[in-house]
Amino acid sequence: MNNQLQLLIQLSDLDTQLEELKNERIRGKEESLGFKVQAKEAEIKKFRDTLRKKIGSDLLNQYDRIIKRYKIRAVAQVNDGVCYGCFMALPTSYVSEADRNNKIITCPNCGRILFWIE
Ligand SMILES: [Zn+2]
């Protein structure tokens, strides 16, 4: 798999976790764990900063535009030809097999960056 794509998948996972933690705090869920949540957030942000430094700036800009729009899951997997970000079927032969996971491909419907489960 394309190394940048792999990094984007990890970044998307961290951003999704951060968003979930944020929502947890807003809901005031498990208040006694508030400090733990903050510590976890700080830890995730550290990993996130390191990751972002390894991703090309153009790609990072593209990613940031998507995550700004959706908050979570800027990168979605494709299963049986369906984008798991928006659950629309991709046009058949939208992407050649050789390009899957090797090029940065976005969903024609939701614009998320796609990766394929082998
Ligand atoms: Zn989609």
Residue 77: give its domain's CATH number: 1.10.287.1490
pLDDT digits (tens, 9 = 90+) for 93-113: 899 999 999 999 999 999 999
CA of 33 to the centre of ligand 1 (A): 35
Cα three-residue angle 87-90-92, rounded to 5 degrees = 150
CA of 110 to the centre of ligand 1 (A): 4
Phi and psi at 39, nearest 5°, equal -65, -40
pLDDT digits (tens, 9 = 90+) for 39-94: 889 999 999 999 999 999 999 999 999 999 998 899 999 999 999 999 999 998 89
**CA-to-CA separations, 110 to 3, 47, 69, 96, 104, in angstroms, rounded:** 23, 27, 10, 19, 15
Range of the domain at 26: 3-116
Q: Of all residues in the chain, what percent carry a pLDDT higher than 90?
A: 76
Q: How many domains does the chain have?
A: 1
- Quick check: 34 pLDDT over 70? no
Residue (of 70, 104, 63, 109) closest to 88 by Cα position: 109
Buried b (16+ CB within 10 A) or exposed e, 4-16: bbebbbbbbbbbb
- pLDDT for residue 26: 74
CA of 61 to the centre of ligand 1 (A): 19
